[in-house]
Amino acid sequence: MPGFELIGKEEFSEVKSVFDEGGILFRHSFDHLRNGVYKVQEFEKSFAKRMNVPHALAVTSGTAALRVALAALDIKTGDEIITQSFTFVATVEAIIESRAIPVITEIDKTLNMDPADLESKITDKTRAIIVVHMLGVPARLKEIKEIADKNGIPLIEDTAWGCGGYYNQISLGTYGDIGTYSFDFAKTMTTGEGGMVVFKDKNLFDKAAAWHDHGHENNPDLPRWEDSRSCSGFNYRMMELQGAVGLAQLKKLDYVVEKQRENADLIEQTIADLSIEMRTVPDGSFETADALVFFVDNNRTARKCRDALLKATLGTKILPEAITWHFAGTWDHMQELVNRNGIDLINAFPKSIELLNRSVSLPIAINMLDNFPTKIRDTLMSVLK
């Protein structure tokens, strides 16, 4: 489990320095009162450097990051945005909030977007594709990017779970055109609440930066309250205390991912001979190992695994229990999904539900007790024997 396990004196010291140097909590202005301290700006620069991408924009959440990414692409009413059936509601909420139509693909055994289904869902109204690296395993980015490029459609990577991972040695979030990240409290690195959007293209970055700040262009030749603007926008600005925590957490990111991978490997080796099938991981993947997912025979067995793991105070992460928040087939409260896929939404994505129903996801901690893998094995054995 993630960066919150390591929150401590480094984050405190970064936050303290904001107060020591004048206590300016706004990311802009107040230049004469802040002794050169601009934590959000510094966080953006450091994040861009770590991800090897030219532009990064800090925002208030991973949901805001998706909304801002779509605003940068000038998404209009009725445009179609394709994403996958297994994701958190936020991905589809951002599409609906942009007045666009969410179009949902099936997933495959990577539990991410099925490239073949993606191809069949593209129409002349498709304006963007949002692929999600669920639970830290990269999607089939090569195939998906090829399809996106062939059709001239921008690719957004929802990297809420993939921060710190790679695909073919390229940081997740930077393979496509735009990458979004979440720093909520359950993520690989956290600022409590917060997010980041990264861009290769300066024009898209400039649009996003203005849109997330009421349209402010932050023209260096004008005082902020006389600033120029060319579009309306909203307020998704990150504040200085989050930027300060982010700077400290970013320094821990590689350690977090390395430790999670090590612990996930240990668990995988320990349960390797059980009658389970591990989730497919595409070639070239460097997972964040936020969770370790395997398939069992059916939903009944998956639920039994969950109950046994809970009883043994081990627990599961999202699957099979939290499917209602993470599978589009259950979101009949979203009229846009019902309109497009019919009232029998739960059966609209049969391949996805078949896989999700028999998935079990084990949470991976940084600070894992030595006996954790064997405890997991013994507990699963009691169900799968």
Ligand X SMILES: Cc1ncc(COP(=O)(O)O)c(C=O)c1O
Which of helix, strand or coil describes residue 328? Answer: helix
Burial 366-377 (b: 16+ CB within 10 A, else e): bebeeebbebbb
Of 5-13, 61-69, 100-108, 252-260, the segment contacting ligand X by CB under 6 A is: 61-69
Interface pick for ligand X out of 182, 288, 316, 361 (rule CB under 6 A): 182
Interface pick for ligand X out of 118, 132, 238, 337 (rule CB under 6 A): 132
* Choice between 320 and 373, CB closer to ligand X: 320
Q: Does 129 bind ligand X (CB under 6 A)?
A: no
Q: Does 179 bind ligand X (CB under 6 A)?
A: no
100 pairs with which residues across the strands? none
Phi, psi (rounded to 5 degrees) for 160: -50, -40
Q: Does 106 bind ligand X (CB under 6 A)?
A: no
* Choice between 62 and 179, CB closer to ligand X: 62
Q: Which residue is nearest to ligand X (CB)?
A: 62
Interface pick for ligand X out of 43, 47, 86, 88 (rule CB under 6 A): 88
Of 19-27, 153-161, 356-364, 374-382, the segment contacting ligand X by CB under 6 A is: 153-161
CB atoms within 10 A of CB 65: 34
Helices (H) and strands (E) in the chain, counts: 13, 13
Of 18-26, 56-64, 107-115, 203-211, the segment contacting ligand X by CB under 6 A is: 56-64
- Least distance in angstroms from the C-beta of 195 to ligand X: 5
Of 4-12, 23-31, 60-68, 76-84, the segment contacting ligand X by CB under 6 A is: 60-68
Identify whether 282 is preceded by a cis peptide bond (ω within 30 of 0): no
Of 67-75, 87-95, 198-206, 342-350, the segment contacting ligand X by CB under 6 A is: 87-95
Give the span between the Cα atoms of 253 and 259, in whole angstroms: 10
Q: Does 290 bind ligand X (CB under 6 A)?
A: no
* Whether 231 contacts 68, CB under 8 Å: no
Q: Does 62 bind ligand X (CB under 6 A)?
A: yes
Q: Does 91 bind ligand X (CB under 6 A)?
A: yes
- Least distance in angstroms from the C-beta of 129 to ligand X: 15
Interface pick for ligand X out of 87, 174, 288, 341 (rule CB under 6 A): 87
Rg over alpha carbons for the chain, rounded to the nearest Å, is 21
* Choice between 250 and 383, CB closer to ligand X: 250
- Choose among 162, 180, 155, 173: nearest CA to 110: 162
H or E element at residue 197: strand 195-199
- Choose among 38, 26, 53: nearest CA to 205: 53
- Least distance in angstroms from the C-beta of 160 to ligand X: 3
Q: Does 242 bind ligand X (CB under 6 A)?
A: no
Q: Which of residues 155-174 bind ligand X (CB under 6 A)?
A: 158, 160-161
Interface pick for ligand X out of 164, 179, 195, 233 (rule CB under 6 A): 195
* All residues at 6 or more sequence positions from 208 whose CB lies less than 8 Å from its CB, including other chains: 57, 68, 69, 71, 72, 197, 199
179 pairs with which residues across the strands? 157, 198
For residue 336 the two structure tokens come to 């846009």
Would you say the C-alpha torsion 133, 138, 144, 148 has a positive or negative sign?
A: positive
* Choice between 87 and 301, CB closer to ligand X: 87
Which of helix, strand or coil describes residue 123? Answer: coil
Interface pick for ligand X out of 44, 63, 131, 353 (rule CB under 6 A): 63
Angle between helices 240-270 and 9-20 (to 10 degrees): 170
* Choice between 182 and 316, CB closer to ligand X: 182
For residue 288 the two structure tokens come to 């964040």
Contact residues toward ligand X (CB under 6 A) are 61-63, 87-88, 90-91, 132, 158, 160-161, 182, 184, 195
